[in-house]
Structure 1
Amino acid sequence: MFNPSKEEVRQFFCEAWAKQERSGILTPMESIAARWMVEHPEYHGILSDLESAKEAEYTPEKGQTNPFLHLSMHMSITEQVQIDQPPGIREASKQLSIKLDSEHEAQHKIMECLGQVLWNAQRDGTPPDMVAYVEAIKKLV
């Protein structure tokens, strides 16, 4: 299973952004990342400075969203939708995108559902309830 360190995740995003900026050839995974990085101009400065990115701390107390966690969640949801795993997420995502007239906004709503399911699993010491995850998304449609 792929389990990169914090530094590896940040390096991946910063290097993919650098390639995107210079119109370099991206791997399939970098292409997915670049798609979401383009959608988040507020992160471009962070992504353009690998050394600062490696050192940055994002805590709720500072009122900052962790751009690397946010982009990683976009990538995870994109993959889930592409392979329809958990079953039903592709259709639920499609319907939510239609309702909101924005795949990006739909992903942000899905992210909230995913965060809740992960938080519940961590709190309860159980595997994430993927049926509840898809049902939560369907309730948004």
Structure 2
Amino acid sequence: MFNPSRDQARRFLAEAWKKRRDKLPASPLEMIAADIVAMHPEYHVLLEAGEAALAREWTPEDGEANPFLHLSLHLAIEEQLSIDQPPGIRAAFDRRVARRGDRHAALHDALECLGETLWRAQHERRPLDGLAYVECIRRRG
């Protein structure tokens, strides 16, 4: 299982974006990551800024969302959709896209559900509840 450190995950996103910008060959996962970054022009400068940006901390007290966490959650959702895991996520997401009329907006709905589900699992010290996660996507908004 791929379990990168924080720095490895951040560097992966920056390198995937650099490959896209420089029109270099990329792995399938790097191409997906670059597609996600392309949807977020507000993060381009950060990903192009080098090591200092990669080392920056974001805390709730700062009032800013962590862009690397945001992009990583997007990447996790894309992988979940590609393998329909947890079961039913693809169908729930497709319905969300149809309702929203915008895939990126639907991804942000799923991202909110994933964040809530992860928080609940950590808070309750339990495994991630895949059924609750999929149900959240179904009923969102």
Identical pairs, percent? 48
User: Equivalents in 1 of 2:100, 2:127: separation in Å?
Assistant: 30
- Counterpart position of 2:93: 93
Is 1:51 paired with 2:51?
A: yes
Q: CA deviation at 1:50?
A: 2.4
Q: CA deviation at 1:67?
A: 1.0
The residue type equivalent to 1:133 in the other structure is: Y
- Counterpart position of 1:68: 68
Q: CA deviation at 1:25?
A: 1.1
User: Equivalents in 1 of 2:81, 2:39: separation in Å?
Assistant: 18
- Counterpart position of 2:22: 22
SS at match of 1:18: helix
- Counterpart position of 2:35: 35
CA offsets, 1:16-73, max 9 Å, x none?
A: 1111111111110101101110000000000002212222111111111111111110
User: Equivalents in 2 of 1:116, 1:140: separation in Å?
Assistant: 12
Poorly superposed stretches of 4+, deviation over 2 Å: none
Alignment TM-score, normalising by the size of structure 1: 0.96
User: Quick check: 1:14–1:49 contact (8 Å CA) kept in 2?
Assistant: no
User: Equivalents in 2 of 1:137, 1:3: separation in Å?
Assistant: 25
Q: How does 1:102-121 map to 2 (within 5 A)?
A: 102-121=102-121
Cα RMSD after superposing both structures: 1.1
- Counterpart position of 2:6: 6
SS at match of 2:23: coil
Q: CA deviation at 1:2?
A: 1.8
User: Equivalents in 2 of 1:91, 1:115: separation in Å?
Assistant: 19
User: Equivalents in 1 of 2:77, 2:16: separation in Å?
Assistant: 19
